[in-house]
Structure 1
Amino acid sequence: MFGLKAFGLGFTCIVAVTIASFASAAETKIVFNVDGQKVIGTLSTIDSNPKAPVVVMFHGFGGTRDELAIKDTKEGVFSRSARLFAESGYASLRIDFRGSGDSDGKWADTTFSGQIKDGIAAIDWLKASDKVDSSRISILGWSQGGLVGAHVAMARPEVKSVTLWAPVVTPLYTYAGLLGADSVAKGLTSPPDTEITSKLPWGADTTLKASFFQQMPTTSTIAAIAHYPGPLQVIVGSKDTTVTPQPASGQVLLDYHDGEERLDVFDTDHVFSAFTGPQMIDDHMVPATLEWLKKFNP
């Protein structure tokens, strides 16, 4: 099963010109290759410390590296978090998985194993970089990116710490709610290249191949995190209706993980109240994550 495998790969990288900057950091577009396709990322580095510790950030289902737009701001959840991390001395790398955002590939070809492979490649790119301290890498994954983050941590257990925001724990259960039980049943019983269109709870349609669905019963976030010996933080919202039930879904990862760990539960939803403004991100999500980082990846 994918929860018990490590994925090997080779990659090359290209670093482009600086594309943005703010008070304490500069943002640079980076590119690396996985299976002949380009993965695009944004590397946020600290002007005063070229050897800063670094957080690699994995976005959620249907998301991109900047993530969901936050009401009353010009930032996404991840782009804002990266800025706040930088202000506290942490570099970061946020990537678009293949088939998402600016990276190569088609959304319909998305699979858990493909995203895990991209995530491992991101870690390996950082380990080869001279822009950050390659010995001080942490992982942050949100929702489906949390599932990915757990598997990447299993494959690269030398990472200093892992933080999972509202991670998908039981894919069959979560995606039956998100994509519909009929779509999941069709995906499980159709040839892998069959395209299946599902209506999301907010009314949008999404099309994925049956191969995405067929990895649901064989991809275990629990099994993956059980193989990661380092510090684990899980942050969930008590009002989350996407990954449920909470906080039980978050707690089960701690139950199977052996090592330093913590569960934080906030009075918020699956998107950390981004639709109402930045307060939850600014006052709870990022500070709690930074507290964990400063303890285990100072």
Structure 2
Amino acid sequence: MTMSVTTPRDVEITMTTDDGHTLHGTLTLPDGPGPHPAVLCLPGSGKVDRDSNAGRLRMELGVPLSHALARQGMASLRYDRRGVGASPGDWRAAGFVDNRDDAVLALRTLRARPEVEAGKVGVLGHSEGAVHAMWLGSHEQPAAVVLLAGYARPGKEALLWQASRVGDTLPGLVRPLLPLLGKVGLKQLTALENTSTDVARVGGAKINARWWREQLVHDPRADLPGITAPVLAITGDKDLQVDAADLEVVASLVPHAETRCAPGLTHLLRVDPGAPKLTSYSRLLRRPVDAGLLTEVSSWLAQRLR
């Protein structure tokens, strides 16, 4: 006798922000009658859609994560950022605070769905999404919080650490240029901090200037002590973009948090047996998100939400 595997059911939903933007998303429902516990899934930064894909940088996190949660009996919601995928608008004009406000809307929308048990809704964020999950944990009282590769220091410090870490992995021929590149980068960073428009040209590139200004001054350490829900924070020891040492900050500010520095895990949520380097990203993205991580996270959430 063979067992049938039930495919989770997807429902397309829309949400309208206070300033008139329409966000399109996917509500994934597990098998069986509801209402179900549920998880809001928040992606990293940039031109990112509901599956954590940004152009050619395709993390393909949304579907395997939602299915892992569904196998544990939990619904989930993920959505396209402003100006990405099915959501209209200009993603460059959206600020860091806009993204946070949109996450608040999504959490409240998820709680209000008839298929969802409102008192059992958690949040899970990756990278920038983890920083917004910290804020939601402090201000919107979700039932559980999962932080994947979330930094716990001021945004500018996180950016400078990232630049230094990535620089250390560049090929030997390029390293003598690092002091010069560092000076150029700091000059452009100062120019960015002095912008006043939503979108600006810095170093010849058109960038999301308001997002950068707001992100650089944001300090998630102000939010962490206010989280009373269970917290799971995981960062890989091969993450080039977030310092795994920030897990110690999370643990100090949220004493009940469970933290883990995952061996071999990269910022892309794939395990890399080799030395971490930016040039490995294209190779890593040809593989799926680490199955062990998905199992760990979904099992942890199920124990706290069901």
Give the alignment's TM-score, normalised by structure 2.
0.78
CA positional deviation for 1:222: 1.7
2:290 is paired with a residue whose SS is: helix
Q: Is the Cα–Cα contact under 8 Å of residues 96 and 212 in structure 2 kept in the other structure?
A: no
2:14 is paired with a residue whose SS is: strand
**Which residue in 2 is equivalent to 1:104?**
88
Shifted more, 110-119 versus 164-173: the winner is 164-173
Measured in 2, the distance between the counterparts of 1:268 and 1:181 equals 29
Q: Are 1:29 and 2:26 an aligned pair?
A: no
CA positional deviation for 1:108: 1.3
Residue identity in the other structure for 2:41: M
Q: Are 1:292 and 2:300 an aligned pair?
A: yes
Change in CA separation of 1:193 and 1:24 when aligned onto 2, cut-off 3 Å: closer
Query: Equivalent residues in 2 for 1:155-166 (5 A)?
Result: 155-157=139-141, 159-166=142-149
Give per-residue Cα distances to partners, 1:149-193, cap 9 Å, x unaligned.
Answer: 111222211x11100110133311333446943332212112234
Measured in 1, the distance between the counterparts of 2:199 and 2:100 equals 22
Tell me how many residue pairs correspond in the alignment. 263
**Which residue in 2 is equivalent to 1:143?**
127
Q: Are 1:55 and 2:39 an aligned pair?
A: yes
Shifted more, 135-144 versus 84-93: the winner is 84-93
CA positional deviation for 1:265: 2.0
Q: Is the Cα–Cα contact under 8 Å of residues 65 and 79 in structure 1 kept in the other structure?
A: no
Change in CA separation of 1:217 and 1:75 when aligned onto 2, cut-off 3 Å: closer
CA positional deviation for 1:250: 2.3
Residue identity in the other structure for 2:298: L
Query: Equivalent residues in 2 for 1:32-111 (5 A)?
Result: 32-34=15-17, 35-62=19-46, 63-68=48-53, 76-111=60-95
Measured in 2, the distance between the counterparts of 1:267 and 1:43 equals 31
Query: Which residue, 110, 124, 133 being the options, matches 1:126?
Result: 110
Q: Is the Cα–Cα contact under 8 Å of residues 235 and 264 in structure 1 kept in the other structure?
A: yes
CA positional deviation for 1:198: 6.5
Measured in 1, the distance between the counterparts of 2:251 and 2:188 equals 31
Residue identity in the other structure for 1:208: N
Residue identity in the other structure for 1:249: D
Give the alignment's TM-score, normalised by structure 1.
0.80
Q: Is the Cα–Cα contact under 8 Å of residues 9 and 29 in structure 2 kept in the other structure?
A: yes
Query: Which residue, 247, 250, 257 being the options, matches 1:253?
Result: 250
2:235 is paired with a residue whose SS is: strand
Measured in 2, the distance between the counterparts of 1:175 and 1:163 equals 22
**Which residue in 1 is equivalent to 2:279?**
none
Change in CA separation of 1:291 and 1:194 when aligned onto 2, cut-off 3 Å: closer
Measured in 2, the distance between the counterparts of 1:95 and 1:129 equals 15
Q: Are 1:275 and 2:272 an aligned pair?
A: no
Residue identity in the other structure for 2:50: R
**Which residue in 2 is equivalent to 1:185?**
190
Measured in 1, the distance between the counterparts of 2:59 and 2:158 equals 27
Identity rate of aligned residues, in percent? Answer: 21
**Which residue in 1 is equivalent to 2:212?**
213
CA positional deviation for 1:217: 4.3
Change in CA separation of 1:275 and 1:231 when aligned onto 2, cut-off 3 Å: same
Mark the structure with the bigger radius of gyration.
2
